[in-house]
Amino acid sequence: MASFRITATALLATLVASMLVVATANAQSVQRPLRPSASQGIPVIPFMEGWYDNADGSITVSFGYHNRNKENIVVPKGDNNFIVPAAMNGMQPEVYFPGRHHGVFAVTIPMDREDETVWWHLISAGQELKVPGERGSSAYELDRNPRPQGSVQPLIWFDDGQQGSGPEGVVAATTKTTSVGSPIALEVFTEDPSKRDRSDPRFIKPLDTRVSWYKHQGPGEVSFSEHDSTPLVESREGEVLGLIPAPEVAVMVSGGKGPARVMASFSEPGDYLVRARLDNWKSSDSDGLDQCCWSNAYQRIRVTQ
């Protein structure tokens, strides 16, 4: 009888071990959707944020992206990063910062082409993703109306005086020039025209706005530093504004009106595009996740050796 008990115990142990091996093998072969995502080697996702119906009959389509990697991803314009039709190609970013970034650029489709669909193609990590932009479902229609507490898209412009607002913003009429390693001052002018109830304790004083600076296009690295007239805002690693990653380089505009300046230097010669994003997200009715309220300004810089 004792011999039988030993044999049965051994058999039971063998069965349990076999079950564990099978379970382990199955666990390794099954894709688990709740497993945390990898931190690198993930394709950048292009987004169509929505479309604006303009007074002249044209529509403006706002685009953004989501980079789920922990590092910046660079995809130069060309075969891996382009917009069709070709006439609307050119304003998409080449550098993609970690996180979800809303309304990084926009494309305006003229009234006589309003039935066309704009496609943004982006190939990264060996995978092509594309997103359409068009006058589509009303669920994707955006508006420029004041928010519940009066916030609207702020105004931003360069020294030529041509004002812009919203994701399409404004592009500087002139190209700045500098050389590798020689810092150059970048400047935008800003105004927040939001009309808020001054009897509300939150709005007794005009709210400050923020200008954030990003490399948008170009062959080398862009380093931003403080301009003597405009202190930089300190940013903590991993900090977010709502669910939007906080910028690495930003300045505050007191009272929501005035100039914002930063110094920029470039590591390689070539043509660059720098984006300045002006937002009034200090107001509780304004946030990028609500597609309000910020405006882009783009400055071209030609860098020589």
Q: What is the pLDDT of residue 37?
A: 56
pLDDT tens, residue by residue, 166-190: 999 999 999 999 999 999 999 999 9
pTM of the model: 0.86
Decide: 35 and 43 in contact? Cβ < 8 Å. no
pLDDT band at 39 (very low <50, low <70, confident <90, very high): low
| pLDDT at residue 239 in the model | 72
State the pLDDT at residue 23.
39
pLDDT for residue 99 is more than 70 = yes
From the list 296, 298, 260, the residue with the least C-alpha distance to 64 is 296
Tell whether the model's pLDDT for residue 9 goes beyond 50.
no
Tell me if 265 sits within 8 A of 225, measured CB to CB: yes
- Residue 119 pLDDT > 70: yes
| CA dihedral angle for residue 134, residue 135, residue 141, residue 142, rounded to 10 degrees | 70
What pLDDT score does 244 carry?
83
